[in-house]
Amino acid sequence: MSTNQYPGERPQKSGTSSWLKVGGIGCLVIVLVVVGLVIGLVRSPLVQRNFQQSKLMAECSANLGQLRQPLKRYAADHSGSYPATLAELYPKYVSDQKMLQCPTSGQKGAVCSYDYTRPAPTAPGNTIVIVCRHHTMVQGQPPSPIELTKGGTIITVRHMGGHTRPPATTRP
């Protein structure tokens, strides 16, 4: 009968094993630090703001795109004349009044209306009809406007700071 069959907790190559253990912990710490940095970066106010603003700009562009047909239908029913205000589209041409406002409306309790300029029936297709100026990508920079032309084109100008480009549009 042996009383010492399994030493159990006594590894034979203790040196290598503990080095492996230290190395493993070191790797784990590095991984955790990197993960922490990535999470910190993603959650940083600037990145969050950019992400949120990009999302809102996409929603706003989609909203403007949905106003193309109501405007065209209104003009078709009024011998080519566009409405004096966007509100005139509701309820006959637009079923939801929310479509007449930027999706940033409601945030901070503000009503964010679009700037609407009634185009002349003979105005060219590149005439800007609706502009949203409620989006700022970088604080301190001018707003990044989203525009809808009479022809139905949506133009987005992003002011990211440093590099800005003028809107590629021709005013009537």
Which residues contact Zn ion (rule: CB under 5 A)? 60, 102, 132, 134
- In the complex with Zn ion, the residue whose CB is nearer, 60 or 100, is 60
Residues 24 and 32: beta-carbon distance below 8 Å: no
Number of Cβ within 10 Å of residue 131's Cβ equals 19
- In the complex with Zn ion, the residue whose CB is nearer, 32 or 58, is 58
Report in angstroms how near the CB of residue 138 gets to Zn ion at its nearest: 16
- In the complex with Zn ion, the residue whose CB is nearer, 55 or 92, is 55
Report in angstroms how near the CB of residue 60 gets to Zn ion at its nearest: 3
- In the complex with Zn ion, the residue whose CB is nearer, 129 or 132, is 132
Residues 171 and 149: beta-carbon distance below 8 Å: no
Report in angstroms how near the CB of residue 104 gets to Zn ion at its nearest: 6
Report in angstroms how near the CB of residue 172 gets to Zn ion at its nearest: 23
Dihedral (Cα; 152, 114, 139, 45), 10-degree rounding = -90
- In the complex with Zn ion, the residue whose CB is nearer, 118 or 133, is 133
Q: Which residue has the tokens 């133009």?
A: 155
Report in angstroms how near the CB of residue 20 gets to Zn ion at its nearest: 56
